[in-house]
Structure 1
Amino acid sequence: MEAQATHEDGGLRSEGLESLVLKDGRVLEFAVQGPEHGPVVLFHHGMPGSAVPMESVFGSATDRGYRIVTYSRPGYGTSTSAPGRTVLGTAEECRVLMDHLGAERYLVAGWSTGGPYALATAVADSPRVSGVLLIASFAPHDAEGLPFVEGMGVQNHVLFGAASRGEQEQRSVVRQMAAVVRDSDPSNLADGIASLLPAADVTALTGPYGADNAAHMSHALAAGDDGWLEDLRALTSPWGFDPSAVTVPVELWHGDVDRMVPVSHGRWLAGHLPTLRAHFENRHGHISIAVGSLGDKLDRLRSRAA
C-alpha cells in the first residue's frame, strides 16, 4: 500500500500531530516524540485513544532515549473511519506508516485494546519488528477456555454485551459511554467508570495521568464515536491472524486487580504465545501497571530482542 505525507520530512523528526494520506485517500494521524536517533517504538493505544502523546506514560521511555511513534486508529482523532476494519488490516496500515518514517527496525507496544494490534504488527511487519511489549492486553474474544468478561466492571459487561447484538444497540452503548468520557475531568471520569477502577487505578487517574488521559481521549472522540465502535467490532471479531504465529520476544505485564481487562486474559496469552515472558503484578490495575514505568518495560524487552 502506497502513501504520501502532508509534510516534506520523511524521517523520524516530527513534532506534534501530523497526517499520512494512504493510497485509498484516507488519513492516518500520527506523532513522533523522543530523541531523534533513539530506538524506535510504535505504540498502540487503548479504546478509546489517539495519537496525542501522554507525558505521564511516555516520559519514562523518552527520558531513556526511546523514539515513540503514536497514531490514531481509524475513526479516532483526524484518522479517517474504516468501517469493517480488522486488527490485522489496521496493523498493515501501521506498516505503511513505518515505511514512511523510514524505520529499519523497531519495537511495538500495546496497552489494553492496543495489545492485539501490537501482536498483529509483529505478524504484518515481521522482518522489522524485533519485539513486542503487551501491557494489560486483551486475549481473543473467542479464546477457548477464557470467560471473556468474567472479572470486568459493569461498564465493560455492558459494552461487550452489546458486541453480540445489532449495530443500533452497539452505537447506542458506545454513544452513552463516549458521553461519559468526552471532556470529563479526572474526578468525574473516575466516578463515571467506578466499577472498572480498583484503588490503584483511582490514585493513578487522579494524578498527572488524569489530565494527560483527558486530552488524549477528548481528541480521540472530538469528531465522533466511529473509532470506538470500529474498535469494539474488530476486537470481538476474528483478528485475522493466530497470536501464536508471533516469533519475536514478547514481554507481558498485567495487574492482578485489573477490572478493565482481567488478569485471566494475560494468563491465557502467557499459555498460548511460545515466546512470551509474563509479569503479573500484585495490587496493580489497568492504569497503574502502565503509568511511569514504560521505559523500564521497554528496556527489559530490548535486552531480549538484542
Structure 2
Amino acid sequence: MPLLRLPDGRDLEYEVQGPSTGPVALFHHGMPGSAVPMDTVLGSMTAREFRVVTYSRAGYGASSHAAGRTVADTAADCAFLLTTLGVERYLTVGWSAGGPHALAGAAVAPESVEGVLLVSSFAPFDADGLDYIEGMGAQNVAQFGTVGHGEPAMRALVAQMASAVRGNTSADVATEMASLLPPVDLAVLTAEYGADNAANMDHGLSRGDDGWVADLAALTSPWGFDFGAVVAPIELWHGAVDQMVPVTHGQWLAEHLPTAEVHLEPDQGHLSIAIGSLGEKLDVLRGRVAGRATP
C-alpha cells in the first residue's frame, strides 16, 4: 500500500478503493486495525459509488509510530492525507475506536468534512455521568482497567491480547473474544467478515503493538478537540446488545452532539450493525449533507 511522507517526517500508510469520481469517504478503523481494505466492510460503500480512503493510524502496519499521539493528532494526519490526494470535501466514517477520530476530523477540518457517520463509537473516557466499562465484556474490562497504571501495564495487557489474535483463524479469535460477542456478533465473526478482519488486524500488528498501545492511551486521554467544533451533520448508530462498546456510550454521545441523528438498534451488536450496511448509512448522511447545502 502507498506511503505518504507527513510534514514531520513520519510515514502514513493508506489505500484508496472505489470509483475515481465518486464522493469520498475517509474510513477510520477500529482497535486494532489498519488500512487493509475489507470487502465485507467497504463493499457496501464502493457498491454505492463511494471512493473510500483507508489508512493505518500511527504505529499500525507501515505507519510510523508517534509517541503520545492524541485523537486530534491523527485527525491532522488525515487532513494532510486528503489534501495531498486533492480531495476538498469528504465524509468521515468511524467504527468503534475510529469513531472519536472521525469526530476529530470534523473538528480539525470543518471546511472539508461535510458529514460524519459514527458506528458503535466510544465516548470520552472522562465522560460525565457515564460508567465507561459497565456492560463491556471481560476482555475490555481488563484492557481499560490498565489505564492509570502506567504504560508498562497497558503494554503488557495489549501484548497478551495481541498474541490471542495475531495470526489466528477467525474461529480462534472468536474463542478468545467470547466475552465481547453476543450471538449476533459471533455469527458475523465466524462468517466471511472473520477472514477480512483477521487480515486487517494481522497487518496492523505486523510490526508490533505500538499502534494498539497508542490507541488505548489516546482513547483514554483528552481527545484534543471540543465537541462544539463539530458542526457537520452526524449519523450515529449503536447496537443495544454491543458488549465491546456498550450502548450507553452511544446514548452519551447522542446527548452531547447536537447535529446527530440517532439510531439505537435493539437487536444489533458491535459488528452486526456495520457489516453490509455502511453504504446505506452513508447514503442517508449524504442526503442530509445535500439537503443542508440546498437554499
TM interval, short-chain normalised: over 0.9
The alpha-carbon deviation at position 244 of structure 1 amounts to 3.5
Name the aligned partner's letter for residue 271 of structure 2. I
CA offsets per residue over residues 28-56 of structure 1, 9 Å max, x none? 00000001100000010000000000000
Unpaired runs of 5+ in structure 2?
291-295
The match for 2:36 among 22, 45, 52 is 52
The alpha-carbon deviation at position 23 of structure 1 amounts to 1.8
Q: Identify the residue that residue 252 of structure 1 maps to in structure 2.
A: 236
CA offsets per residue over residues 65-90 of structure 1, 9 Å max, x none? 00000000000000000010000011
The match for 1:215 among 187, 196, 199 is 199
- Within 2, Cα distance between the matches of 1:52 and 1:163? 28
**Contact 1:244-1:272 at 8 Å conserved across structures:** no
Does residue 88 of structure 2 align to residue 104 of structure 1? yes
What's the secondary structure of 2:100's corresponding residue?
helix
CA offsets per residue over residues 238-266 of structure 1, 9 Å max, x none? 00112232111000110000000000000
CA offsets per residue over residues 13-39 of structure 1, 9 Å max, x none? xxxx11001122110000000011000
What's the secondary structure of 1:95's corresponding residue?
helix
The alpha-carbon deviation at position 283 of structure 1 amounts to 1.4
- Normalising by structure 1, what TM-score? 0.94
The match for 1:161 among 134, 145, 149 is 145
Q: Identify the residue that residue 7 of structure 1 maps to in structure 2.
A: none
Q: Identify the residue that residue 180 of structure 1 maps to in structure 2.
A: 164
What's the secondary structure of 2:2's corresponding residue?
strand
- Within 1, Cα distance between the matches of 2:216 and 2:88? 32
**Contact 2:167-2:202 at 8 Å conserved across structures:** yes
The match for 2:54 among 61, 70, 74 is 70
Q: Identify the residue that residue 144 of structure 1 maps to in structure 2.
A: 128
The match for 1:230 among 198, 211, 214 is 214
- Within 2, Cα distance between the matches of 1:275 and 1:269? 11
The alpha-carbon deviation at position 166 of structure 1 amounts to 1.3
Percent identity for Structure 1 against Structure 2: 60
Q: Which runs of 4+ in 1 moved over 2 A?
A: none
Does residue 253 of structure 2 align to residue 269 of structure 1? yes
The match for 2:65 among 43, 57, 81 is 81
The match for 2:263 among 263, 266, 279 is 279
What's the secondary structure of 1:103's corresponding residue?
coil
Does residue 21 of structure 2 align to residue 37 of structure 1? yes
- Within 1, Cα distance between the matches of 2:193 and 2:218? 27
**Contact 2:240-2:268 at 8 Å conserved across structures:** yes
**Contact 2:107-2:226 at 8 Å conserved across structures:** no
The alpha-carbon deviation at position 230 of structure 1 amounts to 0.3
Name the aligned partner's letter for residue 17 of structure 2. Q
Q: Identify the residue that residue 302 of structure 1 maps to in structure 2.
A: 286
- Within 2, Cα distance between the matches of 1:199 and 1:244? 37
CA offsets per residue over residues 184-231 of structure 1, 9 Å max, x none? 111110000100000000000011100000000000000000000000
- Within 1, Cα distance between the matches of 2:108 and 2:40? 29
What's the secondary structure of 1:171's corresponding residue?
helix
- Within 2, Cα distance between the matches of 1:167 and 1:214? 26
**Contact 2:56-2:62 at 8 Å conserved across structures:** yes
What's the secondary structure of 1:88's corresponding residue?
helix
- Within 2, Cα distance between the matches of 1:49 and 1:244? 28
Name the aligned partner's letter for residue 131 of structure 2. P
Paired residues in the alignment total 290
The alpha-carbon deviation at position 98 of structure 1 amounts to 0.5
- Normalising by structure 2, what TM-score? 0.97
- Within 2, Cα distance between the matches of 1:224 and 1:212? 20
What's the secondary structure of 2:196's corresponding residue?
helix
